[in-house]
Amino acid sequence: MDEIQSLLHGFAVALSFKNFALMFVGVILGVIIGVLPGLGGANGVAILLPLTFAMAQTPGGTTSAIILLSCIYWGALFGGAITSILFNIPGEPWSVATTFDGYPLGQKGRAGEALTAAFTSSFVGALVAVVVITFLSPIVARFALAFGPPEFFAVYLLTFCAFVGTSKEPVFKTLASMMLGFALASVGSDPVTGTLRLTFGSTHMLAGFDFLIAVIGLFGIGEILLTLEEGLAFKGASAKINFRVVLETWRRLPTYWKTSMRSSAVGCFMGIVPGGATPASFMSYGVARRFSKDGEKFGTGQLEGVVAPETAAHAAGTSALLPMLTLGVPGSPTAAVLLGGLLIWGLQPGPLLFVEQKDFVWGLIASMYLGNIAGLIVVLTCVPLFAAILRIPFSVIAPIIMVVCAIGAYTVHNAIFDVWMMVVFGVTGYVFKKLSYPLAPMVLAIVLGDRAESSFRQAMLVSQGELNVFFSNALVGSMTALSLFLLLWPIVSAAIAWVRGKRSG
């Protein structure tokens, strides 16, 4: 096994005292970045990039530099879940789906369990992805090449269909909310012709509505307003804050092994394609809800509903580094910045990187194993600390959360207008929730709308307007068919039930 030898060599490269210290520094910085919305992984890595410039010039320095930066990335992946569970505010886009069950768990006083489950599943997802990277990289890189515009559209369609379809809210309210998301996603320049759409001449609207601002407002501020109705207190203050909760949760987690495996598979697929960690988390949550025997109870505080999105997000985030290294295609904004870093340091990502820069590549892969272990240790020891935040009185913590949200909204585009939009989204979230307009489909539409439309129209350009391009080969055809099947599943299952009832009756 060549890979094992190379990997052992990689561990030798990565395991210097300096690199080990850098790993912990990176992870801790990453967790801070992950906790603060707006200060995203991409931001954090980009800011530290110039610092690594000097570092990369010493012998073996590029490995140290990438270890520092990639550990910030792992830390951010871990950290995004914390505020999702405690305050319904996703620190990072990929932890939106974690709020669906994580926040209700927190409110029930089970924040410690939810956090442990989130961190542990992140680790499992990452581990599976690193194993895939270690042993399957050449095959996987070829697989990613098969993805053209129609295939990408099919991936987004699949994400969408896996997630929607089983909504309990009124159909027309779901539709209105989802389409509002798509409309918001289309504000700004049109991806194919470059014309400005729905901006009405306002310079504030040029950049469009960022997903993060909508989410901070709809979920975070909206939730604070809802909480207020019932008095000036957070629920869930009774959370257990001792370390035993970690061990107790660990005892329960193995029962969700099927969900973990499924979510890891979804995550790796989405990371390699590359479709992104955020869609991966939504897709995985949707799939878990369909397949779980407790699917009906999803959204009310199921540990499984935390395991699924976190596993997939971390698996996708990790495996996204593979297309970056082998093809030079970044699978996420953070990967894009890391890619820029490699180029600045004089490394050329691409098929030859694995041949010419063995030390670097295998050092990085080894650091993925080590960095994630370091990350898990850091965040797990902090679980009691995080859970204790809920005990801080409401009138102190609520305004601080608002300040964090405002800073987060501002930093997305460096615009005060976005802080205003956050407040507007907050009121929208509050009213929508009370009138049972579902928020999740709207958020998913904002995430996917832009990308799905681009790939659809790219595909139409390529095929000169022929829709059958979505069935033109086995790959895209099976994904499209699967999406349609998932979308129509409620109708299909109703029909099956009807036929069965007729037979037995």
In the complex with other proteins, the residue whose CB is nearer, 376 or 406, is 406
Find the shortest distance in angstroms from Cβ 213 to other proteins: 12
The 3-state DSSP class for residue 52 equals helix
Find the shortest distance in angstroms from Cβ 187 to other proteins: 9
Which of the ranges 217-225, 282-290, 313-321, 369-377 carries the binding residues for other proteins, by CB under 8 A? 217-225
Of 212, 260, 224, 214, the closest CA to residue 103 belongs to 224
Find the shortest distance in angstroms from Cβ 352 to other proteins: 5
What crossing angle do the helices spanning 474-504 and 149-163 adopt, rounded to 10°? 30
Q: Which of residues 371-400 bind other proteins (CB under 8 A)?
A: 393-396, 398-400
In the complex with other proteins, the residue whose CB is nearer, 305 or 426, is 426
Q: Which of residues 177-196 bind other proteins (CB under 8 A)?
A: 179-180, 182-183, 186, 188-196
Is 69:338 a contact under the CB 8 Å cutoff? yes
Q: In one letter, which amino acid is 501?
A: G
Of 372, 369, 341, 346, the closest CA to residue 357 belongs to 346
In the numeric block, the tokens 């409401």 are attached to 394
Among 31, 132, 453, 479, binds other proteins (CB under 8 A): 453
The 3-state DSSP class for residue 233 equals coil
Among 173, 235, 240, 433, binds other proteins (CB under 8 A): 173
Find the shortest distance in angstroms from Cβ 223 to other proteins: 12
Q: Which residues pair with 189 in a beta bridge?
A: 196
Among 7, 22, 43, 160, binds other proteins (CB under 8 A): 43
Find the shortest distance in angstroms from Cβ 52 to other proteins: 8
- For residue 445, the tally of other CB atoms under 10 A from its CB is 23
Which of the ranges 91-99, 103-111, 379-387, 408-416 carries the binding residues for other proteins, by CB under 8 A? 408-416
Which of the ranges 113-121, 227-235, 368-376, 379-387 carries the binding residues for other proteins, by CB under 8 A? 227-235
CA 317 to CA 260: how far, in whole Å? Answer: 16
In the complex with other proteins, the residue whose CB is nearer, 238 or 473, is 473
Tell me if the bond preceding 274 is cis, omega within 30° of 0: yes
Find the shortest distance in angstroms from Cβ 123 to other proteins: 26
Q: What is the DSSP string of 256-297?
A: GHHHHHHHHHHHHHHHHTT--HHHHHHHHHHHHHHHSTTGGG
Of 373, 408, 386, the closest CA to residue 71 belongs to 373
Across 362-386, b (16+ Cβ under 10 Å) vs e yields bbbbbbbbbbbbbbbebbbebbbeb
Among 17, 203, 503, 505, binds other proteins (CB under 8 A): 203
Q: In one letter, which amino acid is 326?
A: T
Find the shortest distance in angstroms from Cβ 483 to other proteins: 18
Binding mask of the shown chain, residues 142 to 171, with x at each position contacting other proteins by CB under 8 A: --xxxxxx--------------------x-
In the complex with other proteins, the residue whose CB is nearer, 17 or 200, is 200
Q: Which of residues 318-337 bind other proteins (CB under 8 A)?
A: 323, 327-330, 333, 336-337
Number of residues that bind other proteins (CB under 8 A): 113
Among 282, 432, 444, 476, binds other proteins (CB under 8 A): 432
In the complex with other proteins, the residue whose CB is nearer, 15 or 180, is 180
Sign, Cα dihedral of 432, 434, 439, 441: negative
Q: Which of residues 274-313 bind other proteins (CB under 8 A)?
A: none
Q: What are phi and psi of 416, to 5 degrees?
A: -70, -25
Among 15, 131, 176, 265, binds other proteins (CB under 8 A): 176
**Between the CA of residue 386 and those of 93, 99, 161, 374, 395, what are the distances in Å?**
20, 16, 35, 18, 18
Question: CA-based angle 329:330:332, to the nearest 5?
Answer: 150
Which of the ranges 73-81, 248-256, 453-461, 472-480 carries the binding residues for other proteins, by CB under 8 A? 453-461
Find the shortest distance in angstroms from Cβ 16 to other proteins: 23
Find the shortest distance in angstroms from Cβ 88 to other proteins: 15
Which of the ranges 35-43, 88-96, 299-307, 314-322 carries the binding residues for other proteins, by CB under 8 A? 35-43
In the complex with other proteins, the residue whose CB is nearer, 223 or 310, is 223
Find the shortest distance in angstroms from Cβ 382 to other proteins: 17
Q: Does 197 bind other proteins (CB under 8 A)?
A: yes
Q: Which of residues 458-477 bind other proteins (CB under 8 A)?
A: 458-462, 464-465
Q: How far apart are the first and last CA of the chain?
A: 60
Enter the DSSP assignment of 196. E
